[in-house]
Chain A
Amino acid sequence: MSTESSKGLLEKVRGVRDSAMEDLAKVTLAWTSSDTFQTINAVISKPALLTAAMVRKATESAMADVLARFNLPSREDVLALSQRLTRIEMTLDDLGAGMDQLRRASAPARQQRPATREHENNGGPRPGTSPAAKEG
């Protein structure tokens, strides 16, 4: 009896809560969609972003000085190197694709799809491809 009444009470509390939350959601949404809210957001974020950019610039500059003193590559050097490696990776990718094409052209007797299906059924990669890693 007491369990049932407490369940009923809980349901009532939940009902009141949900209805209050619905009302709150409408009010909040109206507020966050308003020009005023967006303006306040912009006003608050402006100095924060400016400070973040200045701190970032100052930190990077100080770090670059320290690294230069120890004859170590700067952040810019490492970023440039990384971008360069990506470009090299792209060139290698093109070369790999070209070699794949050549391999296929030089072995016209080898049927594409049956070969693929055979290797699929064996669970391994198709001859001429080199999976980078395995997962799962």
Chain B
Amino acid sequence: MPSSDASATPGLFSRLSTMADNLVKVTTTKAAIGQTPRQAIWTLNKATLFRYTPVVKAEERHPIPLLLVFALMNKSAILDLRPGNSFVEFLLQKGYDVYLLDWGTPGPEDAQTGLGDYALEYIPRAIRKLRSFSGSDQFNLLGWCIGAMLCTLYSSLRPNDGLKSLILLTAPLDFTEHDKISLAKMTEERFFDVDRVLQAFGNMPAGLIDYGAKMLKPVENFVGGYTRLFDNLDNTKVVDSWHAMNTWVSDAIPLAGAAYRQFIVDLYRNNKLVKGTLTIRGERVDLKQLRASLLNVIGEDDHITPPCQSDKLLDLVGSTDKEVLRLPGGHIGLMAGSGAYKVAWPRIDAWLSKRSA
């Protein structure tokens, strides 16, 4: 008995020490995220086009480059969360030539930047640079969340730019089933005065976006995450993973005022894209013009962009090669959760590799 007590004591001390170290780490530091080596090849205002350093020989690489476009209100580091759990790292290992369009953080001077600017100024220019830099006339495009919506707008408005295939992840496009979309209720005109918010702040503040998203599952977001952390405080691997995700979640950025207004008024409230009445800079967005190969990835448990927001997309586009991929997972967990490398990433790679030659 005494010997077991003696061995338990150092074990207990070591565990307590690990817990204390982990607690200090998560409360006082930011995790290193977005670590994969990359090179900036183009900039415009706050936007930057990065090219990730390939890890596969040029001869073994897929010849068609892939451009990643993330949402406007969070940083793109989620695509490259941390070594061992990075979608970018996975793509590079699979032989893709990976580019990322990072939107940067909008300032007060960008309050008038609208969806048209992103879809018809920034994306086409970044693609022009990508084509020039890679030497390939064709390219593939992957958009996530609002990034997917912007890619849809671009692909419908500029169908002849060389886009070979388009992958949409958790795309908020269809607002027909209004009652099933929690954010749509929150932003109804009777509850939410978008013009007053923009009058007060110019851009949509990151804190308000974060609050809105967290209020969709308040207990899970405000309490659940921390109880999970405290339950695993002695497990450094789990803590590091939590820390990386928390660093990314807490680093939200504001959304340009004009783009936010269009998103709420034209899409959330009036569902103009699906109705075929959305006009961007005088051009009507016709989804039938989207003719590239299309993979629409839906998270079955996505509460931010529920499946009903894009599951009928295939009927609306002009593509002949099109597919829906319904996977278990939420809005972020689908692509950045601990199981993503076993489920979502290989399925995306299987589809994309056939269209990257």
Q: How far is the CB of A88 from chain B (nearest CB, A)?
A: 11
Secondary structure dominating the interface of A: helix
The listed residue with most A CB atoms (<10 A of its CB), out of B121, B182, B216, B219, is B219
Residue count of chain A within 8 Å CB distance of chain B: 50
Q: How near does chain B come to A106, taking the closest CB pair, in angstroms? A: 15
Indicate if B315 sits at the interface (CB-CB under 8 A): no
Given the known A-B contacts A90-B44, A115-B135, are A135 and B54 also in contact in the complex, defined by CB atoms under 8 Å?
Answer: no
B129 touches A56 (CB 8 A): no
Is B339 part of the binding interface, using a Cβ–Cβ cutoff of 8 Å?
A: no
Known: A25-B217, A33-B185, A86-B45. A136 touches B53 (CB 8 A): yes
Chain B positions 209 through 236: 1 when the CB is less than 8 Å from some CB of chain A, otherwise 0: 0000001111110011001000100000
Q: How many chain B residues touch A (Cβ–Cβ < 8 Å)?
A: 56
Pick from B37, B121, B196: contact of A135, CB under 8 Å: B37
Known: A17-B227, A97-B128, A115-B135. A132 touches B42 (CB 8 A): yes
Docked CA distance A54–B312 (Å): 44
Interface of B with A (CB < 8 Å)?
A: 8, 35-45, 48, 50, 53-54, 57-59, 63, 107-109, 112, 121, 125, 128-129, 132-136, 182, 185-186, 188, 190-193, 196-197, 199-201, 215-220, 223-224, 227, 231
Query: Hey, which bits of chain A sit against chain B, CB under 8 A?
Result: 3, 14, 17-18, 21, 24-25, 28-29, 32-33, 38-39, 41-42, 46, 49-50, 52-53, 56, 75, 78-79, 82-83, 86, 89-90, 93, 97, 100-101, 112-113, 115-117, 120-121, 123, 125-126, 129, 131-136
